[in-house]
């Protein structure tokens, strides 16, 4: 069990970040704390932008059916973990409903501009080399590495998925700010600081986050 003085902080956000359910599960377990993002079709030629420093993780099965069934597109170690202890299916809530229980704060964005940088951080995230290179080269070369501290909420929120929330885009505005109830951190303060330092060493530049 990790302990953190961050649990005494008020954690809440009116924003959510879409991510494959299988990756959301790895984040919640503390298996990974990073995501490599390109951006959805709806985000246009500019691609992904890190718009918020805190957000709920919005689990989606869009684009990931083959991953859930076969583990393809995931690094081998995460395939094995999920095959031995697969993620619970998303609740059968009926069409147009979502659940939120995984929270990210802070979200630190790091630009990945070369294949050498991509290889340097590859082992810290969930996707395999082919998927990463395909994402890197799609449209304009480059990716955004999101480094985040994950908390799970003792209370799961169920929301109606509006038309504005649906679709192929990364960020979602929620109807109101939702508070993390009894937040349980996936990483301690020290472990998260160590991760930022390790990423900085791998990339040859300092990676910092604002204090909670």
Give the DSSP per-residue string, 79-121: HHHHHHSPPPPPP---TTEEEEEEEEEEEEEEEE-SHHHHHHH
Place of tokens 């809440």: 12
State residue 85's pLDDT score. 62
Q: Rounded CA gap, 141 and 133, in Å?
A: 9
Count the neighbouring beta carbons within 10 Å of the beta carbon of residue 20. 21
Percent of residues, the chain, with pLDDT higher than 90? 56
Higher pLDDT, 159 or 47: 159
For residue 1, what pLDDT band results from cuts at 50, 70 and 90?
Answer: very low
Q: Rounded CA gap, 132 and 182, in Å?
A: 35
User: Is residue 33 one of the residues assigned to a domain?
Assistant: yes
Which domain does 118 fall in, by range? Answer: 12-203
Counting the structural domains of the chain, the total is: 1
Which residues on adjacent β-strands are paired with residue 24?
Answer: none
User: Is residue 7 one of the residues assigned to a domain?
Assistant: no
User: Is residue 2 one of the residues assigned to a domain?
Assistant: no
User: Is residue 197 one of the residues assigned to a domain?
Assistant: yes
Question: Is 94 a residue whose pLDDT tops 60?
Answer: no
Q: Rounded CA gap, 204 and 122, in Å?
A: 15
User: Is residue 174 one of the residues assigned to a domain?
Assistant: yes
Q: Rounded CA gap, 31 and 124, in Å?
A: 9
For residue 72, what pLDDT band results from cuts at 50, 70 and 90?
Answer: low
Q: Rounded CA gap, 149 and 204, in Å?
A: 22
User: Is residue 6 one of the residues assigned to a domain?
Assistant: no
User: Is residue 212 one of the residues assigned to a domain?
Assistant: no
């Amino acid at each position: 069990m990790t302990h953190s003085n961050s649990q005494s902080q008020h954690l809440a956000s009116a924003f959510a970040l879409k991510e494959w359910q299988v990756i959301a599960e790895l984040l919640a377990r503390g298996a990974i704390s990073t995501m490599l993002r390109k951006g959805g079709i709806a985000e246009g030629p500019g691609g992904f932008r890190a718009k918020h420093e805190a957000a709920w993780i919005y689990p989606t099965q869009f684009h990931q059916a083959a991953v859930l069934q076969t583990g393809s597109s995931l690094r081998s170690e995460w395939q094995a973990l999920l095959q031995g202890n697969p993620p619970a299916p998303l609740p059968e809530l009926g069409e147009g409903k979502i659940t939120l229980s995984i929270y990210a704060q802070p979200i630190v964005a790091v630009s990945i501009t070369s294949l050498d940088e991509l290889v340097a951080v590859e082992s810290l995230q969930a996707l395999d080399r082919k998927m990463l290179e395909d994402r890197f080269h799609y449209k304009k070369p480059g990716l955004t590495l999101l480094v985040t501290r994950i908390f799970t909420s003792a209370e799961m929120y169920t929301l109606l998925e509006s038309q504005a929330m649906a679709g192929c885009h990364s960020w979602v505005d929620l109807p109101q700010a939702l508070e993390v109830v009894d937040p349980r951190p996936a990483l301690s303060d020290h472990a998260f600081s160590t991760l930022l330092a390790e990423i900085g060493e791998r990339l040859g530049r300092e990676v910092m986050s604002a204090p909670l």
